[in-house]
Amino acid sequence: MSAFHHLEIEQLSIRLHGKPLLSLDTRIGPGEVLTVMGPSGSGKSTLLAWMAGFMSRDFEASGRLRLDGRDITALPPERRGIGLLFQDPMLFPHLSVSGNLRFGMPRATPDKQAAAQDGLARIGLADFGARDPATLSGGQQSRVALMRLLLSQPQAVLLDEPFSKLDSHLRHEMRQLVFGHLRDAGLPTLLVTHDHQDAEDAGGRVLELDA
């Protein structure tokens, strides 16, 4: 599964109504997590939206986003190869757990059912494939959301407060699981969080945006 990708944010400058909101120039290497923190309104969500390709047109941005050297700045979200994980697992309620895992897999996946089963085993949910997502606990749903992300074979990952809805012992467990899998897969990751423990466990650089 590991492929070792890298992401470059080149001379990014985002303005809102002509006023500078944020500037950034950095590279995120394979398996590296860059944590972005900062007060409310400092532009964390806007940065994620720019990277994912769905920033509101109220903002103006200059700069380039490169994945493995390829300029993806102008591509629509679904063609960027970037996977997202939010605080809500957002599993499809009308699909089984296994169906959720198969949903995002690349079309060319030879045996989606086997890949889903293997993914479930990797998150300790081998017997849960046929269940409806709503019958899983919050922590189990989070693990399924993580595995769905990994099985979609992204080349980079954005995490938006992914642990904030979990209670504290599950949060610790999920951090280990998420950061471990992302590192093993060699995926460059940008994490937005308010939680200093997230940043510490991510183990990478921390960027503080100004108010």
Ligand X SMILES: Nc1ncnc2c1ncn2[C@@H]1O[C@H](COP(=O)(O)OP(=O)(O)OP(=O)(O)O)[C@@H](O)[C@H]1O
The one among 5, 6, 44, 80 contacting ligand X by CB under 6 A: 44
Q: Are 2 and 185 in contact (CB under 8 A)?
A: yes
Interaction residues for ligand X, span 122-141 (CB under 6 A) = none
Query: How many Å apart are CA 106 and CA 206, to the nearest integer?
Result: 32
- Check residue 41 for interaction with ligand X (CB under 6 A): yes
* Burial class for 92, CB neighbours closer than 10 Å (0-12, 13-18, 19+): exposed
Determine which residue in the list 13, 23, 42, 109 makes contact with ligand X, applying CB under 6 A.
42
- Of 28, 37, 19, which is closest to residue 45 (Cα–Cα)? 37
At closest approach, how far in Å is the CB of 17 from ligand X? 8
Closest to ligand X by CB, 51 vs 125, is: 51
> 155: which DSSP letter?
S
Per CB under 6 A, the list member of 15, 23, 29, 45 interacting with ligand X is 45
152 binds ligand X (CB under 6 A): no
Cβ-based nearer residue to ligand X, 38 or 104? 38
Non-local (6+) Cβ contacts of 198 within 8 A are 35, 163, 175, 191
Closer by beta carbon to ligand X, 16 or else 115: 16
Task: Please list every residue from 59 through 88 that binds ligand X, using CB under 6 A.
Answer: none
167 binds ligand X (CB under 6 A): no
Tell me, rounded to whole angstroms, the distance of Cα 29 from its chain centroid. Answer: 15
Interacting residues toward ligand X by CB under 6 A: 16, 38, 40-46, 56, 58
